[in-house]
A and B are shown apart, each in its own frame.
Chain A
Amino acid sequence: MWEQIRSNQIRSVVLTIGMGALLILIGYLLGLYFFDSAIVGLVIAILVWTVLSLVGYFQGDSILLSMSRAKKIKRDDHPRLYNVVEEMKIASGLEKMPNIYIIDDPALNAFATGRDPNRASVAITSGLLQKLNRDELQGVIAHEISHIKNRDVLLMAMCSILLGTIVILAWYGSRFLIFGSMTGSRRSSSSGGGGGAQLIILVVALVFMILAPIVAQLIYFAISRKREYLADASAALYTRYPEGLASALEKLGTSTGQLKSANKATAPMYIINPFRKKGMKASDLSSTHPPISERIRILRAMAGASFNDYDQAYRKAHRGEGVIPAASIAAETVPIATINLEGEAGEPNEIQRARETSDVMWRLSNYNTITCDCGAKLRVPPKFKEPIIKCPHCGRTHQV
């Protein structure tokens, strides 16, 4: 049941090979045109791809995390978040506890990264952290852990690198082609004859250079969308509670904020597409991710919590076409847990969660928080050297 995402992996591999073929074709054409030898072009294409892949493989997660200015937390910084991640680690059977990061951004989003399940990280924005209650947080974290468990993270990273290489080569290739044909500065050796044939090659090459990145992007999005559905299905199975994720997605869907630190290549890593047009709701059409409203509808239509139930619900929404490979559908019944949402006493409400999250963010920036007797909270910056600080509200003095 757990590892049997395999047949879907085969599908992804086929698509990835398709992208790889595009890359090779570009290299081939470029080589043929500029160097009169396909091999040289191929070598250049593969070299660029190898370098980018190596960097992406070994440094991808730390680049992504530092680009999004994520801060790593420990158990004591935010016990509830840590506990929820640990719960999902146990439910999914992951062997090692993933690192947990918080991104100081009011936008609502989360992502998972790491090249293998033993070196994984999950990151969540502070905005999302304070918006979600415990069950919703569990749903979101379960979705991210599923990406780790299903090994989507590495696949998507490698695919985005492949896409990046294709885009780079096609961009430079088409510029050189246009520039070269205008000034006639192409190799002189071939200028002898076949001007017409040369023109045809030029046009074909140009059209190809323009189409290749688009096709590659479409393939990339197709892989990414499929993976989102699978991660939703796994999240429902791990939590035994599809409503948690559905309710979280609903909150995510009504948000209008864009994530500042995301870029196009990293978009599929997030739980919802970070590049909605400004002011546009996330529930409107997005290409790397399936429409949120549809994801919610499927989750809410689930009769149980198994892959089978998710597949049934998906079929209802898509006129019979399934999403989960037949091999991984076990004919067992997995009941949905009965949990009362927003009902647990003792759970902090949204205001308390906001305070808690801002406390964590200040602490992570090395600010010292002193709570004055009058109720004011003093945030003492790390550079503050005086031994005593006066409360600006009531005038009491405090030891730093």
Chain B
Amino acid sequence: MVAVYIIIGVVVVLLIIFLVLYNGLVRLRNQVKNSWAQIDVQLKRRYDLIPNLMETVKGYMKHERETLEAVTKARNLAQQVSSAGAGERAKAEGELSSALSRLLAVVERYPDLKANQNFLALQEELTSTENKISFSRQFYNDSVLRYNNQTQMVPSNIVAGMTGFKASEFFEVTVAAEREAPKVSFT
């Protein structure tokens, strides 16, 4: 009789441990999903800002057609792959970031543009959106790290294996220029 109680006790304890670990994994996976959605929001915001920026800048920068086209092209490409996985997407977004920083670098040559109130407001929005993208990426990668650790470490990896939790992909920046300057520099 005592043996039966011990077995029941052990089973109950194991079940509780299993549930706690499982819930922990679910919580972490949801956080990864949520923080991915956060990046998405900011990237979309950047797609929306770029046409406005082009509209404002066009009149002033007649001799920078190539730079402007590069931004528009990078934006459209990034929008096209926006449903792809983290890896491919990060590459396209990296291109867009560097095209944008090239554009904002040449702004220095146009004092009229720098005095434009509309442009200054846009510039603040753009700086902030770039920051928000890198902060949400930072939070996303931290969440992925924690989630992946949980799916790979003993004992939660057993639960993860049984219930199908798979490791997530990091959102790494692949363009070298972007890695050097995470913030848009307007100098």
Contact = CB atoms under 8 A, between A and B. Distances in A.
Interface of A: 1-2, 79-80, 83-84, 86-88, 90-93, 134, 238, 240, 332, 337-340, 343-347
B interface secondary structure, majority: helix
Contacts of A88: 135
Interface string B5-44: 0000000000000000000000000010001001000100
A86 B127 CA distance: 13
Contact of A91 (B135, B143, B183, B187): B135
Contacts of A346: 107, 114, 120, 123-124, 127, 186
A80 B124 contact: yes
B184 to A, nearest CB: 8
Interface string B136-154: 1011001101100000000
Contact of A343 (B42, B135, B185): B185
Contact of A83 (B35, B124, B182): B124
A90 B108 contact: no
B131 interface: yes
A90 B40 CA distance: 12
B182 A87 contact: no
B124 A91 contact: no
B121 interface: yes
Q: Lowest 9 CB-CB distances: which A-B pairs, in order?
A: A83-B128, A91-B135, A345-B186, A90-B135, A346-B186, A87-B131, A346-B123, A90-B136, A93-B139
B182 A337 contact: yes
B121 A344 contact: no
A2 B42 CA distance: 22
B128 A87 contact: yes
Contacts of B108: 345
Contacts of B183: 337, 339, 344
B124 A343 contact: no
Given A87-B135, A93-B35, A344-B187, A2 B142 contact: yes
B70 to A, nearest CB: 21
Contact of B180 (A83, A238, A338): A338
Contacts, number: 70
Interface size class of B (residues with CB under 8 A): 20 to 34
A10 to B, nearest CB: 20
Most buried by A among B42, B107, B135, B145: B135
A343 B183 CA distance: 12
Contacts of B124: 79-80, 83, 346
A9 B107 CA distance: 49
B132 A90 contact: yes
Most buried by B among A83, A84, A87, A343: A87
Nearest to B136: A90
A344 B126 CA distance: 13
Given A90-B38, A338-B180, 6 more contacts: A79-B128, A83-B125, A86-B128, A87-B128, A90-B132, A345-B187
19 contacts: A1-B146, A79-B128, A80-B124, A86-B128, A86-B132, A87-B131, A88-B135, A90-B42, A90-B132, A91-B135, A91-B139, A93-B143, A332-B145, A337-B183, A338-B180, A343-B185, A344-B183, A344-B187, A345-B107
